[in-house]
Structure 1
Amino acid sequence: MILSSMLVLFGLGLVSALVLAVASRLLFVKEDPRIAQVEGALPGANCGGCGYPGCAGAAAAVVSGQADAGVCVVGGMETAQKVAAIMGLSVVEREPQLAVPDCTGGPRAEEAFSYEGVDDCRAAAMLYGGSKRCPEGCLGLGSCVKVCPFDAIHMGPDNLPHVNPAECRACGKCVAVCPRGVISVLGLTTRLLHLNQTNDCLPPCRQKCPGQINIPRYVEQVRQGDYEGAVATIRERNPLLLVCGRVCPRPCETVCRRGNVDEPVGINMLKRFVADHEMHSGTRFPVPVAKDTGRKVAVIGGGPAGLSCAFFLRRLGHSPTILEAMPELGGQLRYGIPEYRLPKAVLDWEIQGILDMGVEARTGVRFGKDFSIDSLKTEGFEAFFLGIGAWEHSTMRVDNEDAPGVMGGTEFLTTHALGRTPEVGKRVVVVGGGNTAMDAARTCIRLGAEVTLVYRRSRKEMPANAEEVDAAEEEGVKYLFLAAPTRVVLDGNGRAKGLEWQRMELGEPDASGRRRPVPVPGSETVIEADFIVAAIGQKPDISCLYEDGKACPLETTKWKTIVANPDTLQTAVESVFTGGDVFTGPDLVITAVGAGRKAARSIHYLLTEGRIPVSEKTQREMIPWTLFKEVPGVEVKARARMPHLCEGDERTCTFSEVEGAIPEQDALKEAARCLQCGLLCYNRDIDANPEVPLDQVH
């Protein structure tokens, strides 16, 4: 019995051996020898930061084509080159990247409730979205710290993650684990291309800024004395710091939470301070530029939109060429803003910095006459930006307005900027209530004339910056409100000698929200004038779009603006983009700057990926729940004041710059007034509410 059992077992073993032998022959898989070679080239850290199970998994992924030669986040370029040599590939150096947290909440973010036993951000997010009242901010439980294989993240005393740049390998594990999207892995290109998202940490000032500048960051950098860092932060969104520091009407400040306590933070005066600091430092701060792509882009128009577009295209590695009809670059910055507000030497310094990055410029060439889209294509240009501005003045629609002695506001300022100032005489009437009207009036004051500004609404409805209205009055401009022109009065030679106007009354609000002016019958009056400036509006001159009478493939509006996708600024012609006043109509400089960057972003994606991504979370309007008016726990602190460089006759008899930059000590104090707001949170002054215990101050 025992013998037979042993024979059976022996037989079964023999059969199994034979089966295994056959199977090994049939199922044998020869391992690619490159796997071992690649694994040998890797540093053997087995950290898993690459996303694969150790170096062996990463090597197998490289050989199978699932990962590239730069898969190892530890080894860097040297390792990537070794792996590429094994695989017969070439390595393109990638931009340095870093994990960057985007949240300023921490203890300041109020708790809606507290959890017991939950110590993971993902678990907390699954429970009613987390305990924080802010729906987008950091939950503070440190899941990102736990998953980082390089010990590059720690939770700081502010209960927010902090990244050590020296240790971070940009593996993205922290990004993957964060349920709020607070952390991103960013390089230069990613930062430049990013548009505001509703789940970003966007205080009201950042939401309102047409250029999407990270205002709290650069204000904090000023407070810390890091002026070069502040300039770099602004330049990620705006290449015209010196310009905007002087002429921007500061829409960001209109929603500054500090304004609900005392006065808004002097955001723009801090921009002016750091911009002037660089200009007077004797050197230009470095501007990082991506590697050349070899892609050529034509930027038609050298105003703020075109300069911005060219600047960001160059930073993204492309080769832009600006084509400008006027003798010099700058557009309305040069030819529409007088010297006393924006000195030409300052503008020249800023523009030269853009050109020095490798931007080519051709001036004195007119679109539709000297070149066309087709002729540019033959030169190798692959994409085109139209930023031709709004240079044509609107008419008053009254009799005799085309007579000698009458000139449009834009035409007058341009003529003056070109050194061909017309004879204005002793009495000038300026019609209009916008910034162009203010510039024309203040220019005529400096030319020695008595100036009366005629506006059909009241002072309250004037669209010009309040500071400009006040400054014009201080310099001697007289205002005639609720007055609308009805006729230009001529002398015996057919030249203007006066303006007939009619008294107006304010009726119901119109589409702009301002009360509509209604004529008062029989109230006509004549005011004498040697020269009349009609500064009542501007519109684009789009005649250049119609070459030799051909139909224009671009769609335009009744306001003579070009139609484009508002998210991408792409026109009806795939390779043609637009922005600035030719798209929006007359608008702010910072709006044109923002459009230039948005267009550069779209052009970059079109050239490199063939498609332009637009997120559903792109911020387009103000986020209502961030616009609260009650800001408790904040002390009243005086706002800094811009100094005047000249007064009295020195101010009105020359075109010297009127306003200067605030001194350093004032800049540091002003930066300290910033509440460093997030979506909901902000810094509170503990001493402002001494009855509140420290552990209850968020």
Structure 2
Amino acid sequence: MIFSSLLVLMGLGFGAAAILAVASKILYVKEDPRIGQLEDALPGVNCGGCGYAGCSGAANAVVEGKSGANVCVIGGIETAKAVGAVMGLEVLEMEPELAFRDCTGGKRAEELFNYEGAGDCRAQALLYEGSKTCPEGCLGLGTCVAVCPFDAIDMGPEGLPVVDPLACRACRKCVEACPRGVLSIASMTGKLLHQEEVNDCLAPCQQKCPGNINIPRYIEAAGKGDYAGAVSIIRERNPLLLVCGRVCPRPCEEVCRRGHVDSPVGINMIKRFVADWEMKNNLRPQIPCAKETGHKVAVIGGGPAGLSCANFLRRLGHSPTIFESMPRLGGQLRYGIPEYRLPKKDLDWEIQGILDLGIEVQTGKQFGVDFTIEELGKEGFEAFFMGIGAWASGSLRIDGEDAQGVLSGTEFLTSIGLGQTPNIGKKVIVVGGGNTAIDAARSSIRLGCDVTLLYRRTRNEMPANTEEIDGAADEGVKYEFLSAPTKVIIDSKGVATHLECVKMKLGEPDESGRRRPVPVEGSEIRYPVDTVISAIGQKPQLSCFYADGEEQCQIDFTRWRTVNADPETLQTSVPYVFAGGDAFSGPDLVISAVGAGRRAARSIHYLLTTGNIPVAKNIMRDLIPYTLFKDVDGCKQKERTTLPHLCSGKERTTTFNEVEGALCKENLHIETARCLRCGLTCYDRDIPLKDVVSARVGEKVE
């Protein structure tokens, strides 16, 4: 009995073994040998930063095509090359990326209420969107710290995450965990391409700046004595900081929160200080550029828009060539802004820094005469930026304006920019109220003329910068307000001798919001003149777009005779042609042209590399209303510093030497300390709230 039972058991065992042997043959799955090779190539730390279950999981993901050679976030380029060698992939070195924090609020952002037991940012965001008054800022509970597998993030004393760049591996776990989008992974190229969005931490000044420069960041760097850092921050958006530090009318200061306390921070003064510091020390820092893409782009026009576009194209790895009709680059910066405001040696220094990135230049080349877009296309250019400016002058629309002795403001200032001394006699009347009119008047004063500026509205309606209007008056320019020209009186030789004008009164507001000037009947008066300078507006010269005999142009124009382009991508009706600066917007600010150049470079980059131009869904188009509050409490009044004058008296009106200087170091630190380091709703107070760390340079936290 026992023996038979043993035989049965042995039979069952042999039967099972046979079945297993057959099954193993049928079901056996041979492991891909590359998995083992990849495990050997990976560092074996099993940190999980890749998102897979250790290095074995990462190896399987690579073999299955779910991840690439860069699967390992800790191994770096050498590990990626080793993985690529196993898989037969070419591995190209990418730009380094780091986690980047956008929010500046932290403990400064006021609390709406306290949660009971919601100690995770994600949970708190689900409960009534979080406890802070700021709808976009950091909630401060450190979820990003908890999920970082590399201990690369800590919560700093201001209640904000602080990233250790040496430890960060750009694994994106913190980005995925943050419910507010406060953290992002950014490379140099990513920062250059980023479009400002409504949910970014944008102080009012940054919103208002046409170039979207991160003003609070560069002021903070300058206040700490990190002038090179401040310059680097500005250059992410503006390569013409030396120029803008001198000529920008500072729209950013119009919305500065400090203005609700006493007066706006001298933002442009600070920009000029750090720009001058770089130039005076002859520093040429290495400006990073992405790897060469091989794409050729033609930039037509070497003014601020063209220089900006070429700068950012080169930094994005492309090969731009600037085609300029004038003898030298600069456009209206060189031929429209007088030396006393922008010394040409300073302009040359800044332009050279841009060209040193590796940008080719062809001067004396007029678009539509010496070359066309079609001809450049045959030479291998794949995209085109039209930055031709607005060089054509507006008409006075009066009898005699074609007489000898009548000049346009553009014509007059260009001749001076070319080093010529115009023969304009002694009595000069300038017609207009913008910056070109003021520049023409102040330049005429320096040529020894008796100058009167004629404007059809009052001083309050003049579009020129207030400082320029005051400066012209100080130098002897006489103003005739509420007066408009009606006729140029000429002699028998066709030379202007008088300008007939009529008195005006202000009526109802026009489309611009300014009261419309209305002639006063019977109030005509004649002024003796040697020269009349008309400075009543400029527009692009569009004839260069038409080839000989052509009546139609592929590129569309607006009813204002500017190039018609998409306002966000700056792409024209011809997909590979883009436009920016005054040719697109009409006469505008230098910083507006700079901003347009960067936006166009972004669009061209995406068109050439992906065939598609993405636009951020939540792009900031207008000022964000809830950030514009006027109740700024907890701040003591502090007097705004003033720029020194480099020359005065007779020297100021008989030479073209620069008038304004830069801040001294002591005043720089006083002015940077006035900045409130604003976020969307938060700002630094002189008397900090409880537990708020907000000390500024030159201030003490009590």
C-alpha separation between the residues in 2 aligned to 1:259 and 1:514? Answer: 24
Seen in structure 2, the aligned counterparts of structure 1 residues 574 and 15 have a Cα distance that, compared at 3 Å, is farther
Seen in structure 2, the aligned counterparts of structure 1 residues 697 and 410 have a Cα distance that, compared at 3 Å, is closer
Residue equivalent to 1:494: 494
Deviation at 1:88, TM superposition (A): 1.7
Residue equivalent to 2:328: 328
Residue equivalent to 1:220: 220
Question: Can you list the C-alpha shifts for 1:648-692, whole angstroms capped at 9, x where unaligned?
Answer: 1100000000001111111111111100000000000118xxxx7
SS of the residue corresponding to residue 168 of structure 2 reads coil
Answer yes or no: is the 8 Å Cα contact 1:288–1:315 preserved in 2: yes
Deviation at 1:695, TM superposition (A): 7.3
Aligned partner letter, 1:649: K
Answer yes or no: is the 8 Å Cα contact 1:38–1:83 preserved in 2: yes
SS of the residue corresponding to residue 549 of structure 1 reads coil
Residue equivalent to 1:67: 67
Deviation at 1:84, TM superposition (A): 1.4
Residue equivalent to 2:411: 411
TM-score, normalised with respect to structure 1? 0.97
SS of the residue corresponding to residue 548 of structure 1 reads coil
Deviation at 1:377, TM superposition (A): 1.0
Residue equivalent to 2:288: 288
Q: Does 1:55 align with 2:39?
A: no
Deviation at 1:50, TM superposition (A): 1.2
C-alpha separation between the residues in 2 aligned to 1:587 and 1:438? Answer: 15
Residue equivalent to 1:120: 120
Deviation at 1:2, TM superposition (A): 9.2
Answer yes or no: is the 8 Å Cα contact 1:113–1:131 preserved in 2: yes
Answer yes or no: is the 8 Å Cα contact 2:107–2:691 preserved in 1: no
Superposition pairs of residues 60-209 of structure 1, within 5 angstroms: 60-209=60-209
C-alpha separation between the residues in 2 aligned to 1:501 and 1:17? Answer: 116
Residue equivalent to 1:542: 542
Answer yes or no: is the 8 Å Cα contact 1:427–1:451 preserved in 2: yes
Aligned partner letter, 2:676: L
Residue equivalent to 2:574: 573
Question: Can you list the C-alpha shifts for 1:92-121, whole angstroms capped at 9, x where unaligned?
Answer: 111111101111111110111110111111
Aligned partner letter, 2:675: C
Answer yes or no: is the 8 Å Cα contact 1:324–1:366 preserved in 2: yes
Question: Can you list the C-alpha shifts for 1:494-540, whole angstroms capped at 9, x where unaligned?
Answer: 11111111111111111111111111111111111110000000000
Residue equivalent to 1:598: 599
Answer yes or no: is the 8 Å Cα contact 2:157–2:693 preserved in 1: no
SS of the residue corresponding to residue 671 of structure 1 reads helix
Answer yes or no: is the 8 Å Cα contact 1:390–1:539 preserved in 2: yes
C-alpha separation between the residues in 1 aligned to 2:318 and 2:693? Answer: 52
Percent identity between the aligned chains? 66
C-alpha separation between the residues in 2 aligned to 1:7 and 1:529? Answer: 132
SS of the residue corresponding to residue 486 of structure 2 reads strand
- Structure 1 residues without counterparts, runs of 5 or longer: none
SS of the residue corresponding to residue 119 of structure 2 reads coil
Residue equivalent to 1:650: 651
Question: Which of 550-559 and 298-307 deviates more?
Answer: 550-559
Deviation at 1:411, TM superposition (A): 1.1
Answer yes or no: is the 8 Å Cα contact 1:235–1:241 preserved in 2: yes
Deviation at 1:79, TM superposition (A): 1.1
Deviation at 1:285, TM superposition (A): 2.1
Seen in structure 2, the aligned counterparts of structure 1 residues 85 and 697 have a Cα distance that, compared at 3 Å, is closer
Residue equivalent to 1:424: 424
Question: Which of 659-668 and 279-288 deviates more?
Answer: 279-288
Residue equivalent to 2:339: 339
C-alpha separation between the residues in 2 aligned to 1:697 and 1:343? Answer: 39
- Structure 2 residues without counterparts, runs of 5 or longer: 696-702
Deviation at 1:3, TM superposition (A): 9.0
SS of the residue corresponding to residue 21 of structure 1 reads helix
Aligned partner letter, 2:619: T
Superposition pairs of residues 612-627 of structure 1, within 5 angstroms: 612-627=613-628
Seen in structure 2, the aligned counterparts of structure 1 residues 86 and 526 have a Cα distance that, compared at 3 Å, is same
Q: Does 1:367 align with 2:371?
A: no
Answer yes or no: is the 8 Å Cα contact 1:686–1:697 preserved in 2: no
C-alpha separation between the residues in 2 aligned to 1:578 and 1:199? Answer: 28
Residue equivalent to 1:554: 555
Question: Can you list the C-alpha shifts for 1:451-480, whole angstroms capped at 9, x where unaligned?
Answer: 100001110000000110000000000100
Aligned partner letter, 1:229: G
C-alpha separation between the residues in 1 aligned to 2:302 and 2:4? Answer: 101
Question: Which of 298-307 and 28-37 deviates more?
Answer: 28-37
C-alpha separation between the residues in 2 aligned to 1:697 and 1:282? Answer: 34
Seen in structure 2, the aligned counterparts of structure 1 residues 506 and 142 have a Cα distance that, compared at 3 Å, is same
Answer yes or no: is the 8 Å Cα contact 1:412–1:421 preserved in 2: no
Question: Can you list the C-alpha shifts for 1:40-82, whole angstroms capped at 9, x where unaligned?
Answer: 0110011111122111111112222222212211111111121
C-alpha separation between the residues in 1 aligned to 2:127 and 2:526? Answer: 73
C-alpha separation between the residues in 1 aligned to 2:341 and 2:4? Answer: 111
Deviation at 1:421, TM superposition (A): 3.2
Question: Can you list the C-alpha shifts for 1:225-246, whole angstroms capped at 9, x where unaligned?
Answer: 0000000000010000110000
Deviation at 1:557, TM superposition (A): 1.1
SS of the residue corresponding to residue 297 of structure 2 reads strand
Question: Can you list the C-alpha shifts for 1:123-165, whole angstroms capped at 9, x where unaligned?
Answer: 1000010011100000001010000000000001111000011
Question: Which of 642-651 and 410-419 deviates more?
Answer: 410-419
SS of the residue corresponding to residue 548 of structure 2 reads helix
Seen in structure 2, the aligned counterparts of structure 1 residues 6 and 468 have a Cα distance that, compared at 3 Å, is farther
Q: Does 1:45 align with 2:45?
A: yes
Seen in structure 2, the aligned counterparts of structure 1 residues 444 and 116 have a Cα distance that, compared at 3 Å, is same
Q: Does 1:675 align with 2:676?
A: yes
Answer yes or no: is the 8 Å Cα contact 2:248–2:591 preserved in 1: yes
C-alpha separation between the residues in 2 aligned to 1:695 and 1:151? Answer: 25
C-alpha separation between the residues in 1 aligned to 2:483 and 2:649? Answer: 29
C-alpha separation between the residues in 2 aligned to 1:670 and 1:697? Answer: 16
Answer yes or no: is the 8 Å Cα contact 1:686–1:694 preserved in 2: no
C-alpha separation between the residues in 2 aligned to 1:409 and 1:432? Answer: 9
